Amino acid sequence: MNSNLDISIVIPLFNEEESLKELTDWISKVMQENNFSYEIIYVDDGSTDNSWKVIEELQHQNTHLRGIKFRRNYGKSAGLNIGFAAANGNVVFTMDADLQDSPDELPEMYRMIVNEGWDLVSGWKKKRYDPITKTLPTKLFNAATRRMSGIKNLHDFNCGLKAYRKEVIKTVEVYGEMHRYIPVLAKWAGFTKITEKVVAHQERKYGVTKFGLERFINGFLDLLSITFISKFGKRPMHLFGSLGTLMFGVGFLSAAYIGIAKIVYLSKGIKAILVTDNPYFYISLTAMILGSLLFVAGFLGELISRTSSVRNQYNIEKEI
The chain-wide mean pLDDT, for the chain, equals 85
- 256-268 pLDDT, tens digit per residue, is 998 898 888 888 8
Q: What's the pTM value of the predicted model, to 2 decimals?
A: 0.72
Predicted confidence (pLDDT) per residue in 276-317, tens digit: 888 888 999 999 999 999 989 888 887 776 675 555 454 555
Q: What is the 3-state secondary structure (H, E, C) of the chain?
A: CCCCCCEEEEEEECCCCCCHHHHHHHHHHHHHHCCCCEEEEEEECCCCCCHHHHHHHHHHHCCCEEEEECCCCCCHHHHHHHHHHHCCCCEEEECCCCCCECHHHHHHHHHHHHCCCCCEEEEECCCCCCCHHHHHHHHHHHHHHHHHHCCCCCCCCCCCCEEEEHHHHHHCCCCCCHHHHHHHHHHHCCCCCEEEEECCECCCCCCCCCCCCHHHHHHHHHHHHHHHHHHHCCCHHHHHHHHHHHHHHHHHHHHHHHHHHHHHHHHCCCCCCCHHHCHHHHHHHHHHHHHHHHHHHHHHHHHHHHCCCCCCCCCCCCCC
pLDDT of residue 181: 85
The pLDDT tens digits of the residues spanning 59-100 come to 999 999 999 999 999 989 899 999 999 999 999 999 999 898
